Amino acid sequence: MNERVQRLKRAVQEAVPGLCPERALIWTRYHKDKQNRKKPRPIQMAEALSLVLAEKTIRIWPDELIVGNYTRRRVGGGIFPELHGLVQMSDLFSFPSRKENPLALSRADMARLAAIAPFWATRFLGARVHKSPRKNLAFLARQLSGTEFVINETGGISHIAPDYEKLLTLGALGIGEDAAQRRKAVRPGSDEAVFYEAVETAMAGLAAFGHRYADLARKMAVAEPDPARARELAAIAETCEQVPARPARNFAEALQSVFFAQIAVNIESLDNSVCPGRVDQYLFPYLKRDLDAGTLGPDQARELVFAWSVKFAEIVPVFPALITRIHGGLFNGQVVCVGGTDGNGADAVNELSMMLLNAMDELRMRQPNYTARVHAGSPPEYLDKIHAILAAGANSPALYNDGAIVPVLVKNGYSPEHARDYTPVGCVEPVSQGRSFSSTDAALMNVPLCLELALNRGRRFGSRLRIGARTPDPGAMLSMKDVKRAFTDQLGFGLEKLLDDLAAVERANARLHPTPLTSALLAGCLESGTDSTAGGAQYNFSGIQCVAPSSVGDSLCAIERAVFRDQRLSLPELAAQCAANFPDEDLRAYLLSLPKFGNDDPEADAWTDWVMEAFSDLLEGRKNTRGGKYTMGVYSVTVHEFWGRVTGADPSGRRQGEPLAAGLAPGNGMDRCGPTALLNSVNRLDVSRATNGLNFNVKFDAATLRGRTGPLALSALLSTYFSRGGMQAQVNVLDPKVLKEARDNPAAHPHLLVRVSGYSAYFNDLTPALKDELIRRTSLCAGRGGA
């Protein structure tokens, strides 16, 4: 990392994150304007986007080589009033003062934002999901409570890896031209014609956005006293004159074009997981050409890559407390993926892959979210590099195994070639780059709650109101078969409600929030003349997350043992104990001592496997409104902690208030036999059912992976896990001492990076409960010993 990059990094890390009102205010002004009210939605979207890009404050910060500011602050986020903006603004007056992730916001801006709320109160997406107001109110109540399930799609979709290669080849104007040609071939006034026109407008807006920076850079160059910086500014001007409007001619232009598009797509779709994806693949030809021609030196190339990477950390999401309980930390999942194979299955690691890994390792910033693909033919130097980085405690990159993922994608309906071109988006969800509009983070399902309902005839513990299916009294359940049926009935009932709401939300997104710019960067949309929200993309899925399968698996295992095998107590007695949050401590100790997932115990592992099977079976054959399948994901971001608080105690011995299992991990603190046993358990599951990907965290205390032995052991663990079919892994190396210090004195380790379910976030960004959870887990891990 050279000095310039160090300065850039410091500037971003030391900047106070803040809330920028520009997008919301310009968006509102556009929509309030009577002239615009009658226009078709896609045109409104494209014009509003172009207006934001034309009017928002632009800045070129000192030392920058790659430019483009997402907000008018160095680090900031925006409000999406037409989506979940009202929810975002629920903390409007406390953003600057709140403890976790405070966001700077001036009083004047607070007032301006407060003033737009009434306009959107009846117009935001959530208010218009169901036609009937009563139905819609019930829907909003479910959303706000967020206990049974959470539909993230109500806040917009995003979760895309756009076809940036196409933007680099054709330029925004070239894509606009393509749309214009296609428009001539369809009936004027048709939906297709409107879509094409919207694409033309949006692409023109994107092109003009770059030109504003060209003008600014030229002006700054003239005023710049330092001749070296003046030359750099002149070069920036030249770059921005060319891209994103026109094709990229060299590596610097390619990086710049991608970042401009990144800003625009974030502003249009939603700032949630817009992913550059397989950067090392589509940018490498530009790099190679420059290096071969000698127009760019290796050091310059590295500097550009680092400078580009830093930019992603300038974009932060604006989450109020309501959303933070589901998505903790200041992350927005902009995934960069390296390695893997080409379309034919040959290894695709190149110099740029290694350069990006170095950038990630040396910068250690919360964004972008670096991930690495591995496969049987991954080169040793690539794997060694990754293992060394992980053993040193970087907590990134997350690893994805082609051997497990590609077949799953093919089974889902991708062509083998397109499957091999996958990148993760969001937390962990694999999609084909530039072809897939998969609302991978559509919804999260509280699976342990379904067991609570099954133990209480469809009602929450302590409640008389039936919210679930009418299943029998526990006293009438005479075998595990009956218990399993009651659970699947509740799960099916809950999923039915979820899918019903989700379908309405999908339609609302298509109706109210088409995304022409994004759509033009997804294969299939221009060809079909259809927006991605309406199913125009080549591949369409929706991901439903099975949250905490092992919490339920361990509970079922405990029921079988305690009630039917040991006959220690009856099922109604056990249910009553759960409902009362285990007044009998001895009973709870007994339940905790029963087999648990994650300890290489086939009996316990089979139950978790069964829960995943039951869930995926219920999704089987269901289609979303875009014509795609529903897929099952096994990850929980941070919702396992929130749902642990609101979901009743369960037969595994978990008390209400304790977190549920995170992702595919064992229940909180339940794995006691070390990483080899844990990996054996995970490898025992049929992960091919996790068609929307899964999140599996392996945690080590720092001492274990220190020294000579650490990286070797880690590499052996991971290669074994992957060769046996493991799908994904994230390695957390945590020193409890450091974490405790960081908790007690946030200033001591302001940039401590930890993994939270698929994301990098700074430790300081986490909620107190999550901090405690992480500290507890690492301490357990470190305290292994004999008697």
Partner 1 sequence: MSHGQSEPRGLIFDIQRFCLHDGPGIRTTVFFKGCALACAWCQNPESISPKPQIAWYAERCTGCLTCAGACPKGAILTPPGQRVDFSLCDGCGACAAVCPREALVSVGRRVTASQLLDELMKDVDFYRSSGGGVTLSGGEPLLQAGFLADFLPQAREAGLHLALETSGACRARDLTTLAPMFDLLYFDMKFMDPAGHRKWTGRDNRGILAAFTRLARSHPGLVARMPVVPGIQDTDENLERTANFLKKCGKQEIHLLPYHPLGEAKIPRLAPGLAPLELDGDPAQSLEKVRKALESLGLSPLVYEPL
Interface contacts to partner 1, rule CB under 8 A = 585-586, 589-590, 593, 600, 673-677, 679-680, 703-704, 706-707, 709-710, 712-713, 716-717, 719-720, 723-724, 784-787
Residue 757 has a CB neighbour count (10 Å cut-off) of 25
Distance CA 376, CA 82 (A): 46
Find the shortest distance in angstroms from Cβ 556 to partner 1: 23
Helix (H) or strand (E) holding 423, with range, is: strand 422-425
- Using the minimum distance from each CB to partner 1, give the nearer residue, 322 or 703: 703
- Using the minimum distance from each CB to partner 1, give the nearer residue, 416 or 669: 669
- Using the minimum distance from each CB to partner 1, give the nearer residue, 345 or 674: 674
Q: Give, in order, the Cα–Cα distances in Å from 235 to each of 64, 223, 224, 248, 582.
A: 11, 15, 13, 14, 68
Of 663, 659, 642, nearest to 546 by C-alpha is: 663
- Using the minimum distance from each CB to partner 1, give the nearer residue, 593 or 745: 593
- Using the minimum distance from each CB to partner 1, give the nearer residue, 344 or 567: 567
And the tokens for 176? 């606009």
Find the shortest distance in angstroms from Cβ 720 to partner 1: 5
Find the shortest distance in angstroms from Cβ 574 to partner 1: 16
- Using the minimum distance from each CB to partner 1, give the nearer residue, 85 or 675: 675
- Using the minimum distance from each CB to partner 1, give the nearer residue, 90 or 676: 676
And the tokens for 112? 């301006």
Find the shortest distance in angstroms from Cβ 742 to partner 1: 22
Find the shortest distance in angstroms from Cβ 758 to partner 1: 25
And the tokens for 669? 């603190």
And the tokens for 108? 């004047």
Distance CA 438, CA 136 (A): 25
Distance CA 238, CA 230 (A): 12
The answer to whether the CB of 432 falls within 8 A of the CB of 414 is yes
Distance CA 746, CA 629 (A): 44
Residues whose CB is less than 8 angstroms from the CB of residue 296 and which lie 6 or more positions away in sequence, other chains included? 250, 251, 252, 287, 290, 304
- Using the minimum distance from each CB to partner 1, give the nearer residue, 384 or 527: 384
Cis peptide before 368, with omega less than 30 degrees from 0?
Answer: yes
Distance CA 343, CA 97 (A): 50
- Using the minimum distance from each CB to partner 1, give the nearer residue, 528 or 719: 719
Note the helical H segments in 185-224: 191-223
- What backbone phi and psi angles, to 5 degrees, belong to 542? -135, 130
- Using the minimum distance from each CB to partner 1, give the nearer residue, 291 or 587: 587
Find the shortest distance in angstroms from Cβ 25 to partner 1: 56
Find the shortest distance in angstroms from Cβ 729 to partner 1: 14
Of 645, 632, 649, 628, nearest to 495 by C-alpha is: 632
Find the shortest distance in angstroms from Cβ 477 to partner 1: 26
Find the shortest distance in angstroms from Cβ 701 to partner 1: 11
Of 462, 444, 453, nearest to 487 by C-alpha is: 453
Find the shortest distance in angstroms from Cβ 587 to partner 1: 8
Distance CA 350, CA 370 (A): 16
